[in-house]
Amino acid sequence: MINRLFLALLSGSFLVLSGCGNREGDKNDPGNTTMPDGRYDFNTIKDITFYEAKRKFASGLIFNESGFQQEPSWEIRFRSNDTVEVYSPDEDKMFPFYITYDHGQVYNFAKNYFRIMHVSKDSLVFQRLHLKRKEISKGIESDVHMTFYTDAYITKKLKTTLEELRKPLPKDSAYIRELTAKAQRNPGNADSAFAARSPVAFTPVSDMIKVEKKDNTDPVMGLTAYDYMFPRYRIEISKAYKDFGYEFSVVVDENGKIHLGKIDNVIPEQMASRRKTIQAIIDVYFYNLLKISPGTSLGIPHPSEVKIVAVGKTTKK
């Protein structure tokens, strides 16, 4: 699975947008002046609200091979040559940020960098950048493109709605089917499984078992995307054959079958016996006391990896 630093760079946090404008000031506007060093003049698009209509990788797809989905959700509005307001869907309000020019077409604010790809009074396109040792990374970290339109452009020129523009395209569904076919060839392999946009669901069918889906929001960045990229569950069994507590990962395939993966906190000498024990817990308790629904992306069920803490108690407490 992708690492947490990479996901933090790609997720929809209100700390990840930067501003842009036209390179030259509007000479008919006495409040504008030509910007030095070819910098953009944000006053030419001052107070225009732009709505993010598309967010995708350079491939043109909204998913990558790990199952991470780019979701457009932002609104931005430039207030001056050094200030931009960004809408946070998590907070449901606009936040002001100071804009810093870096070089060329690259700007920074809120500790993030963007290359400006296109600017007009109707639309904007940004490329989100990731820097490593003061150099722009050439990998997928810098491979996210964001497109914004004004409301007037969406309704009058494109003759559609923002909601329609934000919907996945048929090629996105085709890509998920391609990833699914690859994962199905080896459903127990966590390396070929990918994160489900709607994670696995374990639904109790008996009072003997309880399931709690743990809050997996990133504690530092507050990124809700972790909740589907790295889902975690606590499953507690009463009237178990003995008291136990095990932590392990599994791949749940498209049919709801559980494939045991990595086991935590066990020494190598005990690994074989621990695997047999946990497999027995899955076979006896999970399959009989739970309804297991596979994870899905765009409505397509596919193998995905989840983390489980299984707790057994001999009596109810």
> What's the domain count of the chain?
2
Instruction: Return the closest-CA partner of residue 174 out of 306, 62, 68.
Output: 62
pLDDT at 31: 43
pTM higher than 0.75 for the full model?
Answer: yes
Higher pLDDT, 33 or 14: 33
Domain of 249 in residue numbering reads as: 188-312
Query: 193 and 160, same structural domain?
Result: no
pLDDT at 220: 43
Is 178 inside any structural domain? no
Contact 40, 116 (CB under 8 A): yes
pLDDT at 278: 98
Q: How many CB atoms lie within 10 A of CB 6?
A: 17
Is 6 inside any structural domain? no
Query: 295 and 258, same structural domain?
Result: yes
User: How far is it, in rounded angstroms, from Cα 127 to Cα 114?
Assistant: 5
Query: 298 and 209, same structural domain?
Result: yes
The 10s digit of each residue's pLDDT in 241-299 is 999 999 999 999 999 999 999 999 999 999 999 999 999 999 999 999 999 999 999 99
Q: How many CB atoms lie within 10 A of CB 171?
A: 11
pLDDT at 35: 65
Query: 157 and 19, same structural domain?
Result: yes
Q: Which two tokens stand for residue 73?
A: 């959700």
Q: Which of 185-189, 217-221, 312-316 has the highest mean pLDDT?
A: 185-189
Query: 153 and 68, same structural domain?
Result: yes
Query: 294 and 157, same structural domain?
Result: no
Is 173 inside any structural domain? no
Its sign, for the CA torsion 45, 51, 53, 57, is positive
Summarize the confidence of residues 159-163 as an average pLDDT: 98
What's the longest Cα–Cα distance across the chain? 82
User: How far is it, in rounded angstroms, from Cα 176 to Cα 188?
Assistant: 18
